[in-house]
Amino acid sequence: MIPSVLPTYARAPLHFVKGEGSWLIDENGRRFLDLGAGIAVNALGHAHPDLVKALTDQAQNLWHVSNLYEIPQQQALADALVDNSFADTVFFTNSGTESCELAVKMARKYWHDKGHPEKIEILTFDGCFHGRSSAAIAAAGTPKMIGGFGPVLPGFVHLPWGDHDALNAAINDTTCAILIEPVQGEGGIRPLPDQCLQGLRKLCDDKGILLILDEVQCGVGRTGKLFAHEWAGVSPDIMMVAKGIGGGFPLGAVLATEEAASGMVAGTHGSTYGGNPLGCAVGKAVLDHVADPAFLEGVRARAGLLRQRLEGLVAAHPDVFESVRGTGLMLGLRCKIAPGDVVKAGYDKGVITVPAADNIVRLLPPLNITEDDIAEAINRLDQAASALEA
Ligand SMILES: Cc1ncc(COP(=O)(O)O)c(C=O)c1O
């Protein structure tokens, strides 16, 4: 008999009932160090007092009104995002997938309105993940993502990662945009080198193509800058955001330049819940922390510490781990054994990590994880690796 919850996830038998900072507590009172943060969502950890206050204060006043009316909380968060990024304008969504939908629509509409309706093709790269809607799975294009869900939305061209010749050869008069994650998450914590992102920006400018960055997983402070592309000193035309921006409340956004957004006039897009007062009140409280330069400096310091400790862990367990990769607090342990086994051994020792493609175990802790919690996390991962060796 089919379970009452549609069985699209292979769930671990863990049942958490409470979260405190970087810790999760299960129904038996067992404490787990959470290095997954709900897959890069709980940017400020669990139950951060400022987020609880923002949510409950808003909840006592007004939950929802509809985008038919002005929403001051939405305006405040949009203003703050515009002030802190390349963007001139923001549309709020409820998830990364919805941000992908709008990014694709916005890019195609841009060229349509410029008199180039033939420019519809969006170039994507091996290992990418942009969500689970029809457009997002077409963007990934792998059999695992699209199998059985045809007809696949046309207009996506899939390219090998890092193959400049293939990229140049793929560009023609129908090319609309390049869509890429500055750091691939699901694909296995693969950072795009700064010079490659700079090269993509130049290519887009030279050829008249829009650059869409998917910062759903790597954005909102995760790499130690507010947005990952800032490291390369270039900016996109359109950017997808979600996950960390809501700190655990379902919230996403598409940020864009005025030019790239020029086709999105009244009536071209909408969302019942996107930008709702509750989500935006929480999002503003998240951004008040994460956009603070001192906070970001702290993320970089904690990231340096975690990375150093992980290098030590890899050296201590050469049969389990091969290397550390990634950037900021978006790190991956490349494993010599099945990453799922490492994740499971972590559960036994009370530490949560997340598997990804390419034999990677992901570490995406809350951005404000303490040094003591980093030390304890390494201790528990060390115990997990020792158990696997035994
Ligand atoms: C880079 C990236 N884009 C898009 C998505 C889809 O986001 P959501 O699951 O919120 O729809 C994800 C989710 O993991 C992601 O990592």
Domains of the chain: which residue ranges? 49-290
The alpha carbon of 139 and the centre of ligand 1 are apart by a number of angstroms equal to: 12
Q: Which atom of ligand 1 is nearest to the CA of 95?
A: 10
The per-residue pLDDT of the chain, averaged, comes to 98
Question: For atom 16 of ligand 1, which residue has the closest CA?
Answer: 217
Contact 262, 89 (CB under 8 A): no
Question: Domain 49-290 belongs to what topology?
Answer: Aspartate Aminotransferase; domain 2 (3.40.640)
| Burial tier of 158 (Cβ tally within 10 Å: 0-12, 13-18, 19+) | middle
- Region 327-332: mean pLDDT is 98
Question: Per the annotation, does 113 bind a ligand?
Answer: no
Q: How far is the CA of 123 from the centre of ligand 1 (A)?
A: 18
Taking the CA of residue 185 as reference, the ligand 1 atom at the shortest distance is 16
pLDDT tier at 174, thresholds 50, 70, 90: very high
Give 224 Cα–ligand 1 centroid separation in angstroms. Answer: 19
Q: How far is the CA of 97 from the centre of ligand 1 (A)?
A: 6
| Distance of CA 390 from the midpoint of ligand 1 (Å) | 36
Confirm whether residue 271 is marked as ligand binding.
yes
What integer pLDDT is reported at residue 34 of this predicted model? 98
Predicted confidence at residue 23, as pLDDT, reads 98
For residues 325-343, average pLDDT: 98
Amino acid 24: pLDDT: 98
What mean pLDDT do residues 135-151 have?
A: 97
Token pair, residue 174, equals 């129908």
| Neighbour order of strands in the sheet with 354-356 | 321-327, 330-335, 360-363, 354-356
User: What's the pLDDT band for 11 if we cut at 50, 70, 90?
Assistant: very high
Measured CA distances, 43 to 149, 167, 291 (Å):
33, 34, 12
Atom of ligand 1 at shortest range from CA of 96: 7
Cβ of residue 214 lying under 6 Å from some atom of ligand 1: yes
> Is residue 190 a known part of a binding site?
no
Average pLDDT rounded to a whole number, residues 26-51:
98
Give the pLDDT of residue 380. Answer: 98
Q: Is the CB of 235 under 6 A from ligand 1?
A: no
Residue labelled with tokens 């955001």 = 241
Model confidence at 127, pLDDT cuts 50, 70, 90, reads very high
Looking at residue 243, what DSSP letter applies? G
Of all residues in the chain, the percent with pLDDT exceeding 70 is 100
Which of 181, 217, 218 best tests ligand 1's pocket when mutated (most atoms within 8 Å of CB)?
A: 217
